[in-house]
Structure 1
Amino acid sequence: MFTKYSSRMLLCLFLLLSPLSALSQPDSRVVVASAGTSALTITADAPIFNRPDGDAIGTWYAGTPFTSNEESGPWLRITGYFPEGSWKAAPGIWWVHKEHVFQDIPQERSVEARTYEAVQLLYVRDEAGGETVLDTWEVGSRFTSNRQAGDWIRVTGYFPGDAWTPNRESWWVHRSGVRDITRPTVPLVPLKPGHSRYIVINKESFLLNVHEVDSRGQERIIYTALVGLGRDECMPREQGGNCYFTEPGEYAVRWKIYEPDGIEWCIPPSMEKEERYAADIAAGQRCFPGVLGNFALNIGKTYAIHGTRNLDSIGQRMSSGCIRTHNDVAEQLYKLMREGDRVVIQEGDS
């Protein structure tokens, strides 16, 4: 339906567009696909642009009808409109974002769970294609979803304060304003029903063995690797006096870490007096992205089994207590072990 605002609004557009003859020239940067002519309607007050991702040149009010037979990604070119109820060809190059246009939206369906990040100011609406804006999210806002309807994504979880929180309200955002940041999945080594695995680390030989126990209680070593251990000494008092031991005992895989871009480690305040970090501290560098590889197993008591860039430390006592190994070994351990699996650190053969 043509609203009472349409004539006034279109007059404003004519005043804006008429002197700008450059707007009638095609933009060679825009990839346009032809489509069948469709009669569409603006669902909410919408900015009109001179090209996709270009400059806003006016505003159309909710309810304004128009026609289009060209699109470029999430953008529709306005090829005609209805001043005083009669169709007329658009006098310039006008584009509108699909987010503001009523279209037949497919039925909501379940999809694989994904994680998204806003790449522009994101309008959270009450339904797919809805007019009501519930909230606006800044660039960088993250959320999860396992429900979609066409180009609309339902927010099923989000991260207030960096902690994931489930969402049961009807919150929807348009796909064009987000990017998929879902981490690739890492396939695990299958474990037969009734079987279990555990790790034994021998401090004397620097060997890590993965044992698998079958349903009859029989076990065998299925994987062996060389590791580096804590230095088993205390630093001088003038360097903070911290003690770095890999203490024998019973531990368990508390959680597993996978960071595709690399696990970052930062020098904690308790270590900043140590001579080995003096140059880094003086240079203003406290954090080292990717220094621990991509995979790690947290086993409790500040200990983790992780990768390293310092390959010379493997087979040596040089760490601050953690168990270091080659990055490909850390990846294999990630695939073999489950959360809750036992980890035993022993002085020697028992």
Structure 2
Amino acid sequence: MRLKSLAIVAALALTTALAGCSTDGVSRMFSNDYGGRVDAGYQLPTIPISKVPRQFHRQIVRYETNEAPGTVIVDTGPKFLYLVQPDGKAMRYGIGVGREGFEWQGTSRVAAKREWPVWTPPSAMIKRQPELAKWAGGMPGGPKNALGARALYLYNKGGDTGYRLHGTPEWNSIGKAMSSGCIRLMNQDIIDLYNRVDVGAKVIVQ
């Protein structure tokens, strides 16, 4: 009987692992939520999530902070974005951050949200990368757009910071420092974050 019970426990554990979602009372993984889908008429490709380090998969974690639920905290060192939730928890997402020379810190708020946004490269970026000049008037939204499926626009007391929380088709850039300062998430993750974050939400980048 004991061997049979152990076999059942092992089978249940294997089923949970294959589902890509585990619960241990502290964290919950959402590794099974990166499949392809149609979103606003666009085909969102499947992310080969097994190739993304596990710590960067979306998950609920313990997170102690004095910030109110709904606050977004970006920790650029370990490359995590936390959406604060009640009861000492947060939804954690893996992110890509600014490369050397493009890092930044500060507090801002979400002033606007856009689905499949138009991307207009700044003039300074076009100067560094002349091939982007063709998009000076704006690159239409779509699966190849640099802002991905969603964008949250960050403003502070001085107005538009120029920085965004946005999606990216380059899933293999998550966990790396290679952007021009914006905080990028996998497209399936930015859609999830977009649906949870309100306009006006506080955003802390540290």
Q: Flag whether TM exceeds 0.5 (same fold).
A: yes
Q: CA deviation at 1:267?
A: 2.9
Q: Given residue 288 of structure 1, which amino acid in structure 2 is its aligned partner?
A: M
Asked if 1 retains the 8 angstrom alpha-carbon contact of 2:71 and 2:201, the reply is: yes
CA distance 1:285–1:338, shift in 2 (3 Å): closer
Does 2:142 correspond to 1:288?
Answer: no
Aligned to 2:80: 207
Query: Separation in 1 of the partners of 2:122 and 2:178?
Result: 17
Equivalent residues in 2 for 1:16-95 (5 A)? none
CA distance 1:334–1:303, shift in 2 (3 Å): same
Aligned to 2:125: 271
Aligned to 1:140: none
Query: Separation in 1 of the partners of 2:187 and 2:119?
Result: 15
Gaps of 5+ in 2: 1-39, 42-67, 156-160
Aligned to 1:325: 185
Q: CA deviation at 1:280?
A: 4.5
Aligned to 2:99: 231
Q: CA deviation at 1:204?
A: 1.0
Gaps of 5+ in 1: 1-182, 185-194, 234-243
CA distance 1:271–1:329, shift in 2 (3 Å): same
Q: CA deviation at 1:266?
A: 2.8
Q: In structure 1, the residue corresponding to 2:93 is in which secondary structure?
A: strand
Q: Given residue 226 of structure 1, which amino acid in structure 2 is its aligned partner?
A: G
Query: Separation in 1 of the partners of 2:69 and 2:150?
Result: 21
CA distance 1:212–1:231, shift in 2 (3 Å): same
Query: What is the TM-score normalised by the length of structure 2?
Result: 0.56
Aligned to 1:66: none
Q: CA deviation at 1:203?
A: 1.0
CA distance 1:309–1:288, shift in 2 (3 Å): farther
Q: In structure 1, the residue corresponding to 2:181 is in which secondary structure?
A: coil
Aligned residues: 131
Q: CA deviation at 1:316?
A: 1.2
Does 2:190 correspond to 1:339?
Answer: no
Query: Separation in 1 of the partners of 2:106 and 2:135?
Result: 35
Asked if 1 retains the 8 angstrom alpha-carbon contact of 2:69 and 2:83, the reply is: no
Higher helix share: 2
Q: Given residue 298 of structure 1, which amino acid in structure 2 is its aligned partner?
A: Y
CA distance 1:269–1:197, shift in 2 (3 Å): closer
Q: Given residue 88 of structure 2, which amino acid in structure 1 is its aligned partner?
A: E
Larger radius of gyration: 1
Please, what is the CA RMSD of the aligned residues?
A: 2.3
Query: Separation in 1 of the partners of 2:84 and 2:69?
Result: 8
Query: Separation in 2 of the partners of 1:231 and 1:295?
Result: 21
Q: CA deviation at 1:328?
A: 0.9
Does 2:154 correspond to 1:299?
Answer: yes
Q: CA deviation at 1:285?
A: 5.2
Higher relative contact order (CA 8 A, sep 6+): 2
Q: In structure 2, the residue corresponding to 1:340 is in which secondary structure?
A: coil
Q: Deviations over 1:236-276 (max 9, x none)?
A: xxxxxxxx22x222222122112xxx3221333322221xx
Q: In structure 2, the residue corresponding to 1:196 is in which secondary structure?
A: coil
CA distance 1:279–1:341, shift in 2 (3 Å): closer
CA distance 1:295–1:278, shift in 2 (3 Å): same
Q: In structure 2, the residue corresponding to 1:272 is in which secondary structure?
A: helix
Query: Separation in 1 of the partners of 2:72 and 2:176?
Result: 19
Asked if 1 retains the 8 angstrom alpha-carbon contact of 2:81 and 2:93, the reply is: yes
Query: Separation in 2 of the partners of 1:206 and 1:339?
Result: 23
Equivalent residues in 2 for 1:87-106 (5 A)? none
Q: Given residue 278 of structure 1, which amino acid in structure 2 is its aligned partner?
A: P
Q: CA deviation at 1:224?
A: 1.2
Query: Separation in 2 of the partners of 1:305 and 1:313?
Result: 14
CA distance 1:212–1:285, shift in 2 (3 Å): closer
Q: CA deviation at 1:210?
A: 1.2
Aligned to 2:111: 254
CA distance 1:285–1:342, shift in 2 (3 Å): closer
